[in-house]
């Protein structure tokens, strides 16, 4: 008998069908991956097992834990199972912990409740599990609050809560999606070890095939609530029998064709540089210790110099908190450097007034990570896309604005019918196209893109990368691509800069740096980055 056996599970929320006839099983000590794009029903499957579905949910089929059907279990019975027999780790570590309770209280709560342990005993066990997940008491006392910890440390606390009572089944819903690659590798290692130590079954929910290829014994691929393919993980992902599996696998290693043909092979450029950054430094004032005293300032960007030639695509990679975004904000003249100089098209940007910056802003636009948060939901697309036009010398007429917006939308592959619609009518991928249209409407020469594809599903990500490559080839737009995803850097950039603690520690042609990293930071990033091809080769080799 399997530890978890899901049979013919169907789920609808209100009138909307979410899952239909899903079958899935997890054995003791086994890692099973549930893979699919957003909206495929992965998280809902997990919440069904936990019986934490929204009120309007209706289920049919069977979800057996050790042969007992959870769909028929009472709420009281589920309370004894949750946290004790089934643990769960969530995607977003920044919000998964109660901000008003210490980490010790939050871990101990479940132990006291389930094991009826005394306060002292629960604290002792809390200490042990926090130590096990890599938060030793000497550095992370139980009295710490969540806001005093980083994202990776908080995710360790969530894992400690889930694993404190050595559950037999652990469900991890995108446990590393919000973390940078190095933290991702550490957290995945931790999960793998905990599974092995306690012979837990792990249901790992992910959209990342490379992670899954590395971790999972078996895989189930879900699309629109239906199982497309399931089987032994390395086998399924390398043979790719099902067309959807093939599509996912290709999309996740996608390299735009135009780029493959026209990649630049030298760092030198015959043209004068478009952007020159010299000895740039940014300090943030330290935390106020008392009324008159402040702590030492934090140096977010430390003496950075580089240049970007016209039409070049440059990746800025590094771990979270390394200063990438601060650097980008200064390049965009949204933040003032403490020291150093930025020259764009030969003109100095630093210390200029907003009026003086107008021509520079016209030639330099930005695309943000979140296609949902970067639009005013109450404005029509035509208004959103034409927003940067106030930067033009002479303000265009209403009709001209509409034409320019239509042209920009056409560049990104959207029809003129999009003009009079609102952002919520578009999918995530379409919205990212709209934000790219907004960025190119002034015909800029440099676009700064801050993680522009990391919120998108793999197939849509591939399309957006194609779009970036196409605009670069046709319009000669240079890019500064901020990303922690080396696959993206490899797919779309000529050069890469690796940042660590505010400094650029390595710079070179993208393939050269990523294939043969020299600095410690670059080596760390490269070895931690999940890579589908490498992972599959390793797995198949191990299996002979």
- Contacts with another protein, residue ranges (CB under 8 A): 50, 52, 75-76, 78-84, 87-88, 90, 92, 95-101, 106, 109-110, 113-114, 145, 147-148, 158, 161-162, 287-288, 290-291
Shortest distance in whole angstroms from residue 203 CB to another protein: 13
DSSP string, 97-132: S-TTS-HHHHHHHHHHHHH---HHHHHHHHHHHHHH
CB of 135 to another protein, least distance (A): 17
Q: What span, in angstroms and rounded, lies between the C-alpha atoms of 533 and 394?
A: 52
CB of 225 to another protein, least distance (A): 21
Show the beta-strand stretches assigned E in 126-181: 169-173
Smallest separation (angstroms) from another protein to the CB of 291: 5
Query: What are the structure tokens assigned to 371, written together?
Result: 């296609």
Residue number with CB closer to another protein (96 or 212):
96
Minimal distance, residue 361 CB to another protein, in Å: 33
User: Shortest distance, CB of residue 191 to another protein, whole angstroms?
Assistant: 16
Smallest separation, CB 94 to another protein (Å)? 9
Considering the complex, what minimum distance in angstroms separates the CB of residue 290 from another protein?
6
Of the candidates 252, 244, 194, which has an alpha carbon nearest to the alpha carbon of residue 40? Answer: 244
* Contact assessment for residue 86 and residue 65, using Cβ atoms and an 8 Å cutoff: yes
Q: State the Cα–Cα distance between residues 541 and 256, nearest whole angstrom.
A: 29
Residue 53 or 509 having the CB closest to another protein: 53
Least separation in angstroms between residue 213's CB and another protein is 27
Backbone angles phi, psi at 421, to 5 degrees: -105, 170
Of the candidates 422, 426, 421, 383, the one whose C-alpha atom is nearest the C-alpha of residue 404 is 383
**Pick 102 or 320: Cβ nearer another protein:** 102
Q: Which is nearer to another protein, 177 or 519 (CB)?
A: 177
| Nearer to another protein (CB atom), residue 81 or residue 309 | 81
* Nearer Cβ to another protein (13/263): 13
* Cβ distance to another protein smaller for residue 114 or 438: 114
Backbone angles phi, psi at 280, to 5 degrees: -75, 135
- Given a contact cutoff of 8 angstroms between Cβ atoms, the answer to whether 428 and 398 are in contact is no
Residue number, 89 or 314, with CB nearest to another protein: 89
With a CB cutoff of 8 Å and minimum separation 6, the contacts of 199 are 28, 29
Residues 6+ apart with CB under 8 A from 337: 280, 281, 282, 301, 330, 350
Distances (CA, A) of 228 to 7, 137, 242, 355: 15, 45, 7, 56
Q: Convert 467-482 into a string of H (helix), E (strand) and C (coil).
A: HHHHHHHHHCCEEEEE
Rounded to 5°, the CA angle 472-477-481 comes to 80
Which of 288/534 has CB closer to another protein? 288
Tokens 């979410």: give the residue. 18
Task: Quote the least distance from Cβ 489 to another protein, whole Å.
Answer: 30
- In the complex with another protein, which residue's Cβ is closer, 132 or 433? 132
Q: How far apart are CA 297 and CA 304, in angstroms?
A: 18
Residue 338 main-chain phi, psi, to 5 deg? -75, -40
């Amino acid at each position: 008998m399997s530890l978890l056996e899901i049979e013919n599970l169907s789920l609808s929320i209100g009138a909307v069908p979410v899952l239909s006839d899903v079958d899935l099983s997890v054995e003791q000590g086994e890692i099973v991956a549930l893979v699919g794009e957003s909206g495929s029903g992965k998280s809902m499957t997990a919440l069904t097992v936990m019986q934490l579905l929204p009120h309007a949910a209706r289920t049919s089929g069977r979800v057996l834990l050790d042969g007992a059907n959870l769909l028929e279990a009472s709420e009281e019975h589920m309370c004894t199972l949750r946290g004790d027999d089934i643990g769960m780790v969530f995607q977003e570590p920044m919000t998964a912990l109660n901000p008003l309770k210490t980490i010790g209280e939050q871990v101990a709560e479940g132990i006291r409740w389930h094991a009826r342990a005394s306060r002292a005993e629960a604290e002792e066990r809390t200490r042990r599990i926090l130590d096990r997940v890599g938060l030793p008491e000497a550095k992370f006392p139980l009295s710490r609050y969540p806001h005093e910890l980083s994202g990776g440390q908080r995710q360790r606390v969530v894992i400690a809560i889930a694993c404190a009572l050595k559950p037999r089944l652990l469900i991890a819903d995108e446990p590393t999606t919000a973390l940078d690659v190095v933290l991702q590798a550490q957290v995945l290692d931790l999960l793998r070890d905990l599974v092995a130590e306690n012979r837990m079954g792990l249901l790992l929910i992910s959209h990342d095939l490379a992670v899954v290829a590395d971790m999972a014994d078996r895989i189930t691929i879900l699309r629109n609530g239906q199982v497309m393919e399931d089987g032994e993980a390395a086998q399924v992902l390398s043979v790719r029998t099902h067309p959807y599996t093939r599509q996912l696998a290709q999309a996740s290693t996608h390299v735009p064709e135009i780029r493959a043909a026209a990649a630049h092979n030298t760092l030198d450029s015959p043209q004068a540089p478009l952007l020159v950054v010299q000895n740039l430094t940014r300090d943030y004032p330290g935390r106020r210790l008392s009324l008159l005293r402040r702590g030492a300032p934090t140096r977010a960007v430390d003496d950075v110099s580089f240049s970007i030639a016209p039409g070049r695509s440059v990746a800025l990679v590094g771990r979270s908190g390394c200063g990438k975004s601060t650097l980008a904000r200064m390049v965009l003249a949204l933040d003032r450097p403490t020291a150093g100089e930025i020259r764009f098209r030969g003109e100095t940007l630093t210390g200029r007034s907003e009026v003086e910056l107008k021509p520079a802003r016209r030639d330099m636009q930005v695309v943000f990570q979140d296609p949902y948060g970067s639009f005013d939901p109450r404005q029509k697309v035509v208004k959103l896309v034409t927003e940067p036009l106030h930067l033009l010398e002479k303000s265009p007429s209403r009709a001209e604005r509409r034409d320019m917006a239509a042209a920009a939308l056409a560049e990104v592959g959207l029809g003129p019918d999009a003009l009079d619609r609102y952002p919520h009518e578009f999918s995530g991928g379409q919205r990212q196209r709209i934000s790219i249209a907004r960025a190119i409407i002034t015909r800029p020469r440099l676009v700064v893109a801050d993680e522009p594809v990391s919120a998108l599903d793999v197939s849509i990500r591939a399309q957006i990368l194609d779009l970036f490559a196409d605009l670069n080839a046709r319009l000669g737009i240079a890019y500064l691509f901020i990303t922690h995803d080396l696959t993206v850097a490899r797919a779309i950039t000529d050069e890469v800069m690796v940042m660590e603690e505010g400094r650029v520690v390595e710079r070179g042609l993208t393939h050269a740096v990523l294939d043969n990293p020299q600095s410690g930071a670059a080596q760390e990033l490269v070895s931690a980055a999940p890579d589908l091809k490498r992972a599959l080769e390793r797995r198949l080799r191990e299996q002979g």
